[in-house]
């Protein structure tokens, strides 16, 4: 017997189901949470999904060698395209408002938002929505997003020339 990959129950005949983009072997009870995938064992020679309306779906093999998503088979991750709000967005808003000699009330009226929203943004209590961010950026002529850098520069190590390892830095309590 095979174990259901979703709930862990033992099942004699698992079904291959696509749930949120992942193909899982699940029991009959969990199969209702996804779309059943036709496998090569069925009479159809196609490896397309049974309910797909796309027509030109690629094969179900997803063992590509990682890397670029421009191959057409995989959709790009939306989070890769999103710009992150800068950590100091609250200071940027406050400084720009003060440079334009505006009170919080005047700024709120000019961009047609509530004063409490401006106050919360300037205190860093909440992040601006995309719409409010665009209003503030255009009205105050500022950017609230982080500058796009070439990748994970903040995660780079000190390099091999530094000579220190984690073991050099740790103090044991023996």
Per-residue pLDDT of the chain (174 residues; tens, 9 = 90+): 888 888 988 888 888 888 888 888 889 888 888 888 876 554 444 444 444 444 444 444 444 444 444 445 555 566 666 678 888 999 999 999 999 999 999 999 999 999 999 999 999 999 999 899 999 999 999 998 886 554 545 555 555 556 777 777 787 787
Q: Are residues 97 and 140 in contact, defined by beta-carbon separation less than 8 angstroms? A: yes
Q: Is 89 exposed, middle or buried (0-12, 13-18, 19+ CB in 10 A)?
A: buried
- C-beta atoms surrounding 115 within 10 Å: 14
Q: What are phi and psi of 171, to 5 degrees?
A: -105, 120
- Domains in the chain, number: 2
Q: Which helix (H) or strand (E) holds 169?
A: helix 166-169
* Domain around 12: 2-36
d(CA 174, CA 171): 9
99 part of a folded domain? yes
Which residue, among 10, 60, 13, has the nearest Cα to 39 in the 3D structure? 60
79 part of a folded domain? no
68 part of a folded domain? no
42 part of a folded domain? no
Give residues with Cβ within 8 angstroms of 114, minimum separation 6.
108
Give residues with Cβ within 8 angstroms of 67, minimum separation 6.
none
100 part of a folded domain? yes
């Amino acid at each position: 017997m095979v174990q259901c990959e979703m709930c862990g129950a033992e099942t004699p005949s698992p079904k291959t189901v696509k749930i949120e983009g992942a193909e899982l072997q699940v029991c009959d009870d969990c199969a209702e949470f996804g779309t059943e995938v036709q496998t090569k064992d069925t009479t159809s020679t196609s490896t397309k999904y049974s309910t797909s309306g796309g027509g030109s779906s690629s094969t179900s093999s997803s063992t590509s060698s990682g890397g670029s998503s421009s191959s057409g088979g995989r959709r790009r991750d939306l989070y890769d395209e999103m710009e992150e709000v800068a950590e100091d967005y609250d200071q940027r808003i406050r400084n720009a408002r003060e440079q334009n000699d505006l009170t919080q009330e005047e700024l709120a009226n000019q961009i047609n938002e509530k004063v409490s929203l401006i106050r919360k943004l300037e205190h860093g209590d909440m992040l601006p929505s995309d719409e409010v961010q665009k209003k503030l950026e255009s009205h105050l002529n500022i950017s609230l997003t982080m500058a796009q850098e070439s990748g994970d520069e903040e995660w780079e190590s000190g390099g091999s020339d530094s000579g220190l390892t984690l073991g050099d830095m740790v103090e044991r309590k023996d």
